[in-house]
Amino acid sequence: WYYLFVCLDFAGRVCWTARLSPHTFTSPWIMLGLTLAELVRRIISTMIRIEAQFYREEKEEQQSATALARQKANLTHQQKEWT
Protein backbone atom coordinates (compact mmCIF):
# COMPACT_ATOMS: atom_id res chain seq x y z
CA TRP A 1 0.00 0.00 0.00
CA TYR A 2 2.76 2.41 0.83
CA TYR A 3 4.20 2.22 -2.68
CA LEU A 4 0.78 3.16 -4.05
CA PHE A 5 0.62 6.07 -1.62
CA VAL A 6 4.09 7.21 -2.64
CA CYS A 7 3.03 7.22 -6.30
CA LEU A 8 -0.18 9.08 -5.47
CA ASP A 9 1.79 11.59 -3.43
CA PHE A 10 4.14 12.18 -6.34
CA ALA A 11 1.23 12.57 -8.77
CA GLY A 12 -0.46 14.99 -6.37
CA ARG A 13 2.68 17.08 -6.11
CA VAL A 14 2.95 17.21 -9.89
CA CYS A 15 -0.68 18.38 -10.04
CA TRP A 16 0.06 21.04 -7.43
CA THR A 17 3.05 22.22 -9.44
CA ALA A 18 0.94 22.33 -12.60
CA ARG A 19 -1.61 24.47 -10.81
CA LEU A 20 1.06 27.08 -10.13
CA SER A 21 1.04 27.95 -13.83
CA PRO A 22 -2.54 29.01 -14.50
CA HIS A 23 -1.82 29.78 -18.15
CA THR A 24 -1.02 26.09 -18.74
CA PHE A 25 -4.57 24.90 -18.09
CA THR A 26 -7.42 27.21 -19.04
CA SER A 27 -10.31 24.80 -18.47
CA PRO A 28 -11.99 25.23 -15.08
CA TRP A 29 -12.70 21.49 -15.02
CA ILE A 30 -9.02 20.67 -15.31
CA MET A 31 -8.23 23.15 -12.55
CA LEU A 32 -10.95 21.55 -10.40
CA GLY A 33 -9.48 18.11 -11.06
CA LEU A 34 -5.99 19.28 -10.13
CA THR A 35 -7.33 20.89 -6.97
CA LEU A 36 -9.16 17.71 -5.98
CA ALA A 37 -6.03 15.63 -6.68
CA GLU A 38 -4.05 17.91 -4.36
CA LEU A 39 -6.75 17.62 -1.71
CA VAL A 40 -6.68 13.82 -1.88
CA ARG A 41 -2.87 13.88 -1.69
CA ARG A 42 -2.97 15.98 1.46
CA ILE A 43 -5.56 13.73 3.08
CA ILE A 44 -3.53 10.60 2.34
CA SER A 45 -0.35 12.28 3.56
CA THR A 46 -2.04 13.30 6.79
CA MET A 47 -3.35 9.79 7.40
CA ILE A 48 0.12 8.32 6.88
CA ARG A 49 1.64 10.86 9.30
CA ILE A 50 -0.98 10.05 11.94
CA GLU A 51 -0.38 6.32 11.53
CA ALA A 52 3.40 6.75 11.75
CA GLN A 53 3.03 8.87 14.90
CA PHE A 54 0.75 6.24 16.46
CA TYR A 55 3.25 3.44 15.83
CA ARG A 56 6.12 5.61 17.06
CA GLU A 57 4.33 6.37 20.33
CA GLU A 58 3.30 2.73 20.74
CA LYS A 59 6.91 1.62 20.31
CA GLU A 60 8.09 4.18 22.88
CA GLU A 61 5.46 2.95 25.36
CA GLN A 62 6.60 -0.64 24.89
CA GLN A 63 10.22 0.35 25.41
CA SER A 64 9.42 2.29 28.57
CA ALA A 65 7.31 -0.61 29.89
CA THR A 66 10.19 -3.00 29.22
CA ALA A 67 12.65 -0.67 30.96
CA LEU A 68 10.32 -0.37 33.95
CA ALA A 69 10.00 -4.16 34.17
CA ARG A 70 13.80 -4.48 34.11
CA GLN A 71 14.15 -1.92 36.90
CA LYS A 72 11.60 -3.79 39.00
CA ALA A 73 13.43 -7.07 38.42
CA ASN A 74 16.74 -5.49 39.43
CA LEU A 75 15.24 -4.02 42.60
CA THR A 76 13.69 -7.36 43.53
CA HIS A 77 17.01 -9.10 42.92
CA GLN A 78 18.85 -6.52 45.07
CA GLN A 79 16.32 -6.85 47.88
CA LYS A 80 16.80 -10.63 47.91
CA GLU A 81 20.56 -10.16 48.13
CA TRP A 82 20.22 -7.87 51.15
CA THR A 83 18.07 -10.30 53.09
Determine the pLDDT at residue 83.
Answer: 61
Quick one: pLDDT at residue 64? 82
Residue 63: domain span: 2-82
* pTM of full prediction above 0.85: no
> What is the distance between the alpha carbons of residues 81 and 83, in angstroms, rounded to a whole number?
6
Residue-level pLDDT, tens digit, the chain, 83 residues: 678 888 888 888 888 787 777 677 678 888 888 888 888 888 888 888 898 888 888 888 887 878 777 777 777 777 677 66
Domain count across the chain: 1
Give how far Cα 76 sits from Cα of 70, 73, 79, Å: 10, 5, 5
Residue 8, judged by CB atoms within 10 A of its CB (0-12, 13-18, 19+), counts as middle
- The beta-strand segments (E) located in the chain are none
